[in-house]
Structure 1
């Protein structure tokens, strides 16, 4: 007997593979491969939001370059500006949520440019769970603008993936600032040592106080190095460094 209105099931082998990969570097790749069975998903990433309010990326994978950097820049700089956050804020503790987010709904220019326009994503499906001290978020991106044909199965897949993430500790957070330093050094060879460090950490979402504490220098010194870097290239904001290092 066929029942309508029930959630689409996930292949047990797919679910088992996700659970097996949870907590490993391969989890994002396994999740992306599973999502691509059901729709034209081109990028996935997941993060935890702890009681301290700081997001930590736990998985990312894509057929495009620099997905890890996009995921971490989003988590450090833009997650508060994501429309899915409003759904999360209204979700009771212990409940799950889902939302489709179109690129046109992203009002913050840098967020849309980095996470949607440059990789040419039209929209994403965002799934999550709100816990008492920790919440989980999972996003699936694609370029096509048509309706999601496999949305029901992707929702079921997201449920399995979120459960797997909840049972495993997150992987150690990679140093986004160090990777940005290397890219800045290649794209802007005239930047000096401290200028590179300060600009990279600013791009990664660090405040002047946080950067000062990390580098062991004063807040005023951080601002001085930042201003020197801007003047060296005729920039007025750190976001002007981005086009040459993220494509």
Structure 2
């Protein structure tokens, strides 16, 4: 496990203008394919298996911003959620974020292999099960003391990252991090109104649990049943069951009534069934 500050360097691997425009358009459009775009960008330079993007805010569980997998496993959504909920405190990136180098500013690269992890479940779920040999994390400080973490994972079949491959990641780091920062800012703007609506609903229904709130967040992002399931790391059939339970808890019959409940002023909100 090691980390260092990325020094400015020339990048002779230039992108053509249409490719850059396409990457920026993907960010501007608010799409969910950030990690896939970043993985495709770097995988053209070196073999990589996965990409995840998180936003860390102090000791709280990090927010999962995006993830992508090159046909390796369908469990990456669940693995990402497990990492955010259970394992982030053991990540070597936390040491890098609290380091003297971090306080000096600049972009950091933190490297971590499976054998660097002492917590057995973290190592098993996030590295051994998906057959990951190595990870390079690009770390950039955001406003408010938050940190952006863009993680590239190397499969065991390709061995650990070599010096030239780490150099390639460093060369692309400024563009990668800038795209991720733009995506995070766009998503934060897009989520301002859903967050307000969710807070209002939570005031009316304080009995809503953590899974209920996760379901509502996924719905407010415009997801269908399959996308809700993917966001929560569960099958569509399970997502459909959880949604039915949520609707019963809210006293409504379906998604159309949910939108009416969310948008209605508190004083004129539809009456709950049984009230």
Q: TM-score, normalised by structure 1?
A: 0.64
1:12 CA displacement: 2.8
Distance 2:233 2:69 in 1: 19
Q: Contact 2:53/2:149 (CA < 8 Å) preserved in 1?
A: yes
Secondary structure of 1:24's aligned partner: coil
Q: Which of 31, 37, 62 is residue 30 of structure 1 equivalent to?
A: 37
1:128–1:57: structure 2 CA closer, same or farther, 3 Å change rule? same
Q: Aligned residue for 1:11?
A: 14
Equivalent pairs counted in the alignment come to 186
Alpha carbon RMSD of aligned pairs, Å? Answer: 3.3
Give the stretch that moved more between structures: 156-165 or 5-14. Answer: 5-14
Q: Deviations over 1:149-181 (max 9, x none)?
A: 432222232321221222233376656798456
Distance 2:236 2:117 in 1: 26
Give the stretch that moved more between structures: 69-78 or 103-112. Answer: 69-78
Q: Which of 126, 135, 160 is residue 137 of structure 2 equivalent to?
A: 126
1:87 aligns with 2:102: no
Q: Aligned residue for 2:149?
A: 137
Distance 2:20 2:168 in 1: 12
Q: Which of 107, 120, 133 is residue 109 of structure 1 equivalent to?
A: 120
Q: Structure 2 matches for 1:216-235, cutoff 5 A? A: none
Q: Aligned residue for 1:163?
A: 178
Q: Pick the structure with more helix per residue.
A: 2
Q: Which of 70, 82, 86 is residue 77 of structure 1 equivalent to?
A: 86
User: Structure 1: which 5+ runs fail to align?
Assistant: 186-192, 198-247
Secondary structure of 2:98's aligned partner: helix
Distance 1:122 1:184 in 2: 33
Specify which structure has the bigger relative contact order, considering alpha-carbon pairs within 8 angstroms and separated by 6 or more residues: 1
Q: Contact 1:48/1:135 (CA < 8 Å) preserved in 2?
A: yes
Q: Aligned residue for 1:21?
A: 26
Secondary structure of 1:150's aligned partner: helix
Secondary structure of 1:138's aligned partner: strand
Q: Aligned residue for 2:56?
A: 49
Q: Aligned residue for 2:198?
A: none
Q: TM-score, normalised by structure 2?
A: 0.58
Give the stretch that moved more between structures: 68-77 or 147-156. Answer: 147-156
User: Structure 2: which 5+ runs fail to align?
Assistant: 1-7, 192-216, 219-227, 247-275
Distance 1:6 1:99 in 2: 18
1:183 CA displacement: 9.2
* Larger-Rg structure: 2
1:146–1:182: structure 2 CA closer, same or farther, 3 Å change rule? closer
